[in-house]
Structure 1
Amino acid sequence: MTWISVATFVAVFIAVAGLCFGLPDRWICALLALATLAAGCQAAVRGSVLWSTVFLVGGAALCGASAHAIVTSRRTRSPR
């Protein structure tokens, strides 16, 4: 097992644990984006074009979800 795989598993574990303990959505999406992008890099290193594309597109979607959660949380907290 490579260090990228270990980092991916750790990020997913922290995201699931954070989901159980009430971590904000922006953190969960960011951790899952990190995990999917790392898995995409691992698949690219191994030479699997299909899986690397799937993981990298999924990571980009989760990055967008994380950015959306950040923007909406800042809108609700603004005093104006």
Structure 2
Amino acid sequence: MPPLSLIALAIGLVTVIAGLAFDMPDRWFFGLLALTCMVAGANAAYSELRAWAVTFLATGILLALAAVRAALRDARRGGT
């Protein structure tokens, strides 16, 4: 298994476990999932799997936007 796949799998697994076990804030959860998708997209692009690369990168962008939205929502509420 390529190293980028292992890195993406590790980041995703740690994110889901930390999100469930430690009640991670939404901005961190979505941000780390976006990072997972970006690394997986880089791996797919390196492997010349164009459709998978576009899918992962588009999903990463959507998750990054969700992270920004959650951060802005928390800032408006005055949360930490």
Question: TM-score under structure 2 normalisation?
Answer: 0.91
Name the residue aligned to 1:39.
40
SS at match of 1:23: coil
Larger Cα-atom Rg: 1
Calculate the aligned-residue CA RMSD, in Å: 1.1
Gaps in structure 1 of 5+ consecutive residues: none
SS at match of 1:26: helix
Gaps in structure 2 of 5+ consecutive residues: none
Total equivalences in the alignment: 78
| Aligned-partner Cα distance in 1 for 2:48–2:12 | 23
- 1:19 and 2:19 equivalent? yes
| Letter aligned with residue 55 of structure 2 | V
| Letter aligned with residue 16 of structure 1 | V
The percentage of counterpart residues that share the same residue type is: 31
Moved over 3 A (4+): none
